[in-house]
Amino acid sequence: MSLQFGIKEVANFSLFNYITGAPILYTDYAMSFDLDAKGTRIDLRGGQGNYQLMGFDHTKVVSCKVKVPLVDFNMLAVLTGRPINTGSVQAPQRDLLYTVTGNTITLTQTPVAGTLQIYLSANSGNRDLGVLQTLGSASVANQYSIVGNVVTLNAASAPVGQAIICYYDFMTLATANRITLSASDFPAYVRMTGDGLMTDEITTAITPIKFNIFKAKVQPTWTITLESTKPTELDLAFDLYVVPDTTNNGLLTYFTMTEIIAAVTSTVAPAVTQVAPGTGSHLGSTPISVYGSGFTGGSAAVKINNIACTAVNVNSDGEIVCLTGATTAGTYAVIVTTTNGSSSATITAANQFIYV
């Protein structure tokens, strides 16, 4: 191997909670990944012409910038400094509907009591609001009655075909995810790890490189732009901070980048610590990444509910990618087997996969 190499591919990376070490997310779809180091130099000058004699360096600043084309709820949680809230929440809704026989309309959701506002459209379905309809009896002009999500309007005020604009709140399903940007929460510290590929100039061999950013914090200034002509892209900028590197005599370190020259062969039984994504169709063929250790023991296989996954590829001792097989809906343990044994068959939050 030479010391000269080319790098073309973007890096894949993972984020971990800095305090607990728990994984937050894995990204294998970044558009760009930049590591940037800056410092300040003060020149010592003198002599006739005030020429440079020496330079003193100080105030090193290191950052990492990432551009991703997919908006990940876990990434938004990192940006806002608040965890994802999953559950039924009150959400806003606007409907444009037209009365049918019986002078009724059917709202797309069931409104929360006291939130429904109904207007006749002022111009046959455009944006302008007309006369407000009030809750009461449909036999009275400009009044309506409601049962569930079915609204009955007055026949004279809202004849068949009348455009109706409705504003209201409704309760989402219990599986809804919500991100909150509060006034008092800010991003937390994370650890970043990842991998890329480099090509040796002499041998042309493609070799993995691993990087480890020990401590980082995403900058609290960010923008999400929704456009009509291009997909939304998320730009993230992380500030890096030093920590003592225990593998290098406690040297204060921002990050390390390591060339993986030889393949690692594990001698221990596999262990699964994360499955991403954690859910998929019971029909199978869901691409998943399995994380853990001991995957390079040889003859690696992955099974879920005793159904073998296909297209198994061992990316490293800690990562396997594959396609799920078809089975019945339910929650099962992802089991990795090598020549050294199998991972635990007990279902846990770390090794479970949910077929829906």
- How many angstroms separate the first and last alpha carbons of the chain? 48
Residue 154 near residue 138, CB atoms below 8 Å? yes
What is the distance between the alpha carbons of residues 339 and 8, in angstroms, rounded to a whole number?
35
Q: Partners of 41 in the beta sheet?
A: 57
Cβ-count burial 246-285 (b if 16+ within 10 Å, e if not) = eeeeeeebbbeeeeeeeeeebeebbbbebbbeeebebebe
Domain 271-355: CATH architecture, name and number where available: Sandwich (2.60)
The whole-number average pLDDT for the span 276-301 is 93
Quick check: 171 pLDDT over 90?
yes
CATH fold group of domain 90-171:
Immunoglobulin-like (2.60.40)
Domain spans, the chain: 5-39+54-84+182-259, 90-171, 271-355
Regarding predicted confidence, which is higher, 198 or 183?
183
Q: What is the mean pLDDT of the chain?
A: 93
The pLDDT assigned to 265 comes to 74
What is the helix (H) or strand (E) element at residue 337, kind and residue range?
strand 330-338
Cα(12)–Cα(313) distance, integer angstroms: 16
- Using the predicted structure, report yes or no on whether residue 337 has a pLDDT greater than 70: yes
Bridge partners (DSSP) listed for residue 34: 65
Pair 242, 254: CB distance under 8 Å: yes
DSSP class per residue in 237-303: EEEE--EEETTTTTEEESEEEEE--S-----S--EEEEEESSEE-TT---EEEEEEE-TTSSS-EEE
3.40.50, 2.30.110, 3.55.50, 1.10.1740: which CATH number matches 5-39+54-84+182-259?
Answer: 2.30.110
Closest CA to 318 of 67, 12, 68: 12
Instruction: Give the whole-number percent of the chain exceeding pLDDT 90.
Output: 81
In this structure, are strands 310-316 and 117-121 parallel, antiparallel, or unpaired?
unpaired
Q: Which of 21-30, 135-144, 262-271, 280-289 has the lowest mean pLDDT?
A: 262-271
DSSP symbols for 139-161 = TSTTEEEEETTEEEE-TTTS-TT
Model pLDDT for residues 173-196, shown as the tens digit of each residue:
999 999 999 999 999 999 999 998
Sequence-distant (6+) residues with CB within 8 A of 106 are 97, 149, 150, 151
Question: 18-41: per-residue pLDDT in tens?
Answer: 999 999 999 999 999 999 999 999
Confidence of residue 203 (pLDDT cuts 50, 70, 90): low
- What is d(CA 289, CA 10) in angstroms, rounded to the nearest whole number? 18
CB 78 within 8 A of CB 187: yes
Which of 132, 104, 99 is CA-nearest to residue 117?
A: 132
Give residue 205's pLDDT.
73
| pLDDT tens for each residue of 64-116 | 999 999 989 999 999 999 999 999 999 999 999 999 999 999 999 999 999 99
Give residue 116's pLDDT.
98
Quickly state the pLDDT bin for 127 (edges 50, 70, 90).
confident
Residue matched to tokens 């004699």: 53
- For the stretch 2-17, pLDDT in tens is 678 888 888 999 999 9
Give the integer Cα–Cα distance in Å for 127 and 119.
11
What distance separates the 2 farthest-apart alpha carbons in the chain? 100
**pLDDT of res. 298:** 86
Intrachain domains 5-39+54-84+182-259 and 90-171 with the same fold: no
CA-CA-CA-CA torsion for 346, 349, 350, 355, nearest 10 degrees?
80
Residue 252 CA to residue 173 CA, distance in Å, equals 48
The residues near 156 (Cβ < 8 Å, ≥ 6 apart) are 141
